[in-house]
């Protein structure tokens, strides 16, 4: 892997475990996102790889805290633009990955952490953890490609409600809504995810890839066709004074939560 992304390849099955290891909570900075994208590109091109298990080093705590809010606070237009480019790249490389990808969600998965899990083909969530696209709670709206991830997973009506309200689902609610496929105790998160991968890697790979591409290709193509516009939209929204104010307040609350 690259940076704080580690890869462990099982030589007999070709399953690669990708462990997100950015302390303390796997928040996604531009640098971390780029490390993830590079890793995905390499694993995609490696013919000895049959599938991926994506999980977090912070087992039992946090899968990913989502985009690093510090990357969006008090920054120049060009900084924000480059950050957003790395977000787009991460989405394209992960969502478009041609082989099976299973998320072992071994901790909380708010916002970008939820999006990451939604880019995978199957989700196993740790019992008692929360998952959802809570962006509106931060005063921002999730980008269109996050909303597509949610609506292609739980259906348009439920996605629209969840995104408007910034709903964080409990593990029971997430299972009920089909936002995740399994909810299990801690010691089963990785084994059950592995079990699902063992099944998926038996499907002939070209057929798997073609089928996956038929669902996902149009969404990726849309973003590829309007990357610069999407960056401009993001930068424009982020630079609004009220958005910066809300983000600042949110960061402050995060810091003060435990005091
Ligand atoms: N970004 C930056 N720093 C963060 C983030 C984050 N997303 N999450 C946590 N941190 C920091 C905390 O401030 C804390 O810092 P410090 O140690 O300096 O006080 C440190 O990481 C550890 O966090 P906690 O102490 O809170 O750790 P816990 O284990 O108690 O809790 C949680 C972990 C549940 C993940 C909790 O930290 C949390 O809820 N974090 C916020 C999650 C969140 O709301 N993320 C939203 C990110 S926005 C996004 O992903 C999509 C934006 C799309 C933009 C589109 C615009 C057009």
Whether residue 220 lies inside any domain: the answer is no
Host H or E run for residue 101: strand 101-105
Whether residue 116 lies inside any domain: the answer is yes
Whether residue 224 lies inside any domain: the answer is no
Whether residue 229 lies inside any domain: the answer is no
Whether residue 251 lies inside any domain: the answer is no
The alpha carbon of 112 and the centre of ligand 1 are apart by a number of angstroms equal to: 10
Max distance between CA atoms of the chain, in angstroms, equals: 54
Provide CB contacts within 8 A for 156, sequence distance 6+: none
pLDDT of residue 259: 66
CATH number at residue 33: 3.90.226.10
Q: Which atom of ligand 1 is nearest to the CA of 134?
A: 44
Ordered per-residue pLDDT tens for the chain, 259 residues: 899 999 999 999 999 999 999 999 999 999 999 999 999 999 999 999 999 999 999 999 999 999 999 999 999 999 999 999 999 999 999 999 999 999 999 999 999 999 999 999 999 999 999 999 999 998 899 999 999 999 999 999 999 999 999 999 999 999 999 999 999 999 999 999 999 999 999 999 999 999 999 999 999 999 999 999 999 999 999 999 999 999 999 999 999 987 6
User: For the complex shown, is ipTM > 0.90?
Assistant: yes
Whether residue 247 lies inside any domain: the answer is no
* Ligand 1, pocket-test mutation among 20, 60, 131, 254, most atoms within 8 A of CB: 254
The alpha carbon of 206 and the centre of ligand 1 are apart by a number of angstroms equal to: 38
Q: Which of 26, 106, 134, 219 is catalytic?
A: 134
pLDDT of residue 257: 84
How many angstroms separate the CA atoms of 68 and 250, rounded?
12
The 3-class SS string of 119-160 reads CCCEEEEECCCCEECCHHHHCCCCCHHHHHHHHHHHCHHHHH
How many structural domains does the chain have?
1
Whether residue 90 lies inside any domain: the answer is yes
With beta carbons less than 8 A apart as the criterion, state whether 5 and 23 touch: no
Whether residue 23 lies inside any domain: the answer is yes
Q: Which of 22, 71, 89, 135 is catalytic?
A: 135
The domain of 65 spans 5-186
CA separation, residue 197 to residues 15, 61, 228 (Å): 8, 23, 36
With beta carbons less than 8 A apart as the criterion, state whether 99 and 205 touch: yes
């Amino acid at each position: 892997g690259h940076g704080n992304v580690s890869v462990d390849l099982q030589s007999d099955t070709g399953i690669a475990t990708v462990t997100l290891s950015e302390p303390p909570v796997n928040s996604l900075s531009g640098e971390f996102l780029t490390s993830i994208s590079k890793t995905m590109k390499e694993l995609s091109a490696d013919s000895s790889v049959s599938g991926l298990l994506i999980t977090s080093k912070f087992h039992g705590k946090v899968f990913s805290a989502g985009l690093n809010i510090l990357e969006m606070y008090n920054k120049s237009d060009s900084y924000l633009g480059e950050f957003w480019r790395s977000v787009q790249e991460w989405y394209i490389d992960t969502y478009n990955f041609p082989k099976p990808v299973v998320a072992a969600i071994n901790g909380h998965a708010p916002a970008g952490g939820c999006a990451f899990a939604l880019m995978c083909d199957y989700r196993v969530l740790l019992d008692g953890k929360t998952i959802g696209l809570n962006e509106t709670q931060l005063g921002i709206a999730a980008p269109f490609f996050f909303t597509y991830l949610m609506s292609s997973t739980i259906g348009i009506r439920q996605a629209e409600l969840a995104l408007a309200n910034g709903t964080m689902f409990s593990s029971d609610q997430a299972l009920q809504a089909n936002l995740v496929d399994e909810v299990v105790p801690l010691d089963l998160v990785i084994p059950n995810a592995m079990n699902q991968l063992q099944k998926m890697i038996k499907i002939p790979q070209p057929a798997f890839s073609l089928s996956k591409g038929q669902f996902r290709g149009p969404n990726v193509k849309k973003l590829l066709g309007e990357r610069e516009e999407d960056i401009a939209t993001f930068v424009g929204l982020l630079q609004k004074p009220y958005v910066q104010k809300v983000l600042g307040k949110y960061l402050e609350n995060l810091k003060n939560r435990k005091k």
